[in-house]
Amino acid sequence: MRRCAKCGKKAQVFLPQHRLSLCGEHYIEWFENRVERTIREFRMFSRWDKILVAVSGGKDSLSLWQALIKLGYDADGFHINLGIGNYSEMSNQIALKFACKVGRTLHELHLAKEVMPVPDFRDYDKRPACSLCGTLKRYYMNKVAKELGYSVVATGHNLDDESAVLFSNALSWNIEYLERQYPVLPEENGFVKKVKPLCKVSEKESALYAVLSGIEYVEDECPMAQGATTIDYKLYLSQLEEKMPGIKLRFYSEFLRKLYPILKTQEQKAKLQKCKVCGEPSISDICSVCKLKIKISSRKYIHDQHGE
Ligand code: SF4
Ligand code: ZN
Ligand code: ZN
């Protein structure tokens, strides 16, 4: 029987890459310490910052929110209801329930009211729904954080997410994306600071923290995620991890330590201007979200005129 390395009680968790067995209570402590160390290592924020956590209702975002609150940070939540049927309704309810439990504010935005529900995009735009959904989430996170006076936006991207994206970008040596693959993006040009405090904990570790902390979360994957290539990359990396515990963390951490500083010195930042419609940062006169909204309203207008 494995015993907790801290107190000698029966271990509930074994972390192969750290060769560490822990009981539930000490696992929770280990996880929170790891998040705190990551926040400090990358100078993400301090206890004086107002943090807005992007809360989907899944294990990562709720684990992050809970850990930040327990570590004494001033963290509220922001949930975007994507309008994806039952999945979105359930996610919204769970996020609200959690906010009530921890006694913090959850700001909500309904995409159906602001633009349209994610599944309807396919009638208006050829881009994959996930690409548009990602653009809209980033746009509203930034806009709402600024409007409500938050200095930092924190997202629940974990080590599996980051290493899968890194793997994908490295396969095509996509320098432009690699240059931006850092767990902190500074406040500049109309963007608030964005951070990923879970970048060094795996999906399994984050799920364990949620379960052992009694957090209720949405277990289903978003139904629109099916077929995304990052799912395959995650699977390959997890297979590798089974044979070589710690490989994911090494792949990601060594990129940050060795390659990122070199790329950073050569980074060419895109010239940004203010969108003429909404004032948010944009590479062209009108930002992609406003362009989409214009397209949708003009199509609706034509549709109404023809009475179809
Ligand atoms: Fe949005 Fe795609 Fe993620 Fe679903 S899987 S939340 S549609 S980006
Ligand atoms: Zn213990
Ligand atoms: Zn705009």
DSSP for 128-168 reads: -HHHHHHHHHHHHHHHHHHHHT-SEEE----HHHHHHHHHH
Ligand 1 in reach of 230 Cβ (< 6 A) = no
- Give the residue, out of 82, 141, 234, with the most ligand 1 atoms within 8 A of its beta carbon, to mutate for a pocket test: 82
pLDDT tens per residue, range 21-57: 999 999 999 999 999 999 999 999 999 999 999 999 9
DSSP class of residue 192 equals P
What gap in Å lies between CA 44 and CA 66, rounded to an integer? 17
Alpha helix (H) ranges present in the chain?
Answer: 24-41, 59-70, 85-102, 111-114, 129-148, 159-171, 175-178, 203-212, 229-243, 247-254, 260-266, 288-305
Q: Spell out the domains of the chain, with CATH numbers in brackets.
A: 44-269 (3.40.50.620), 271-308 (no CATH)
Asked if residue 300 has pLDDT above 90, the reply is no
Pair of tokens at residue 52:
């807005």
Closest among 167, 185, 176 to 247, alpha carbons compared:
167
Protein residue with least CA distance to atom 2, ligand 1: 130
pLDDT tens per residue, range 95-131: 999 999 999 999 999 999 999 999 998 888 888 888 8
Q: What is the mean pLDDT of residues 66-73?
A: 98
What gap in Å lies between CA 23 and CA 46, rounded to an integer? 29
What gap in Å lies between CA 156 and CA 159, rounded to an integer? 10
Residue 303 binned pLDDT confidence (cut-offs 50, 70, 90) = low
Pairing mode, if any, of strands 50-54 and 152-154? parallel
The number of the ligand 1 atom at minimal distance from the alpha carbon of 118 is 7
**Degrees (nearest 5) of the Cα angle 193, 195, 201?**
175
- Nearest ligand by distance to the CA of 225: 1
What gap in Å lies between CA 166 and CA 161, rounded to an integer? 9
DSSP for 96-138 reads: HHHHHHHT--EEEEEHHHHS--GGGGGGT-SS-HHHHHHHHHH
What gap in Å lies between CA 98 and CA 90, rounded to an integer? 12
Pair of tokens at residue 134:
């990602």
Residue 208 binned pLDDT confidence (cut-offs 50, 70, 90) = very high
The number of the ligand 1 atom at minimal distance from the alpha carbon of 223 is 4
For residue 259, the one-letter residue type is L
- Nearest ligand by distance to the CA of 280: 3
- Nearest ligand by distance to the CA of 290: 3
Asked if residue 301 has pLDDT above 70, the reply is no
- The alpha carbon of 124 and the centre of ligand 3 are apart by a number of angstroms equal to 18
Q: For the chain, first and last CA: distance in Å?
A: 69
**What percentage of the chain reaches a pLDDT higher than 70?**
97
Instruction: Say what the pLDDT of residue 271 is.
Output: 85
Burial of 168 from C-beta contacts in 10 A (0-12 / 13-18 / 19+): middle
pLDDT tens per residue, range 218-249: 999 899 887 677 889 999 999 999 999 999 99
Residue 288 binned pLDDT confidence (cut-offs 50, 70, 90) = very high
Asked if residue 308 has pLDDT above 60, the reply is no
Q: Residue 246: left (phi > 0), alpha (psi -120 to 50), or beta?
A: left
- Give the residue, out of 81, 222, 226, 231, with the most ligand 1 atoms within 8 A of its beta carbon, to mutate for a pocket test: 222
Ligand 1 in reach of 120 Cβ (< 6 A) = no
- The alpha carbon of 139 and the centre of ligand 3 are apart by a number of angstroms equal to 9
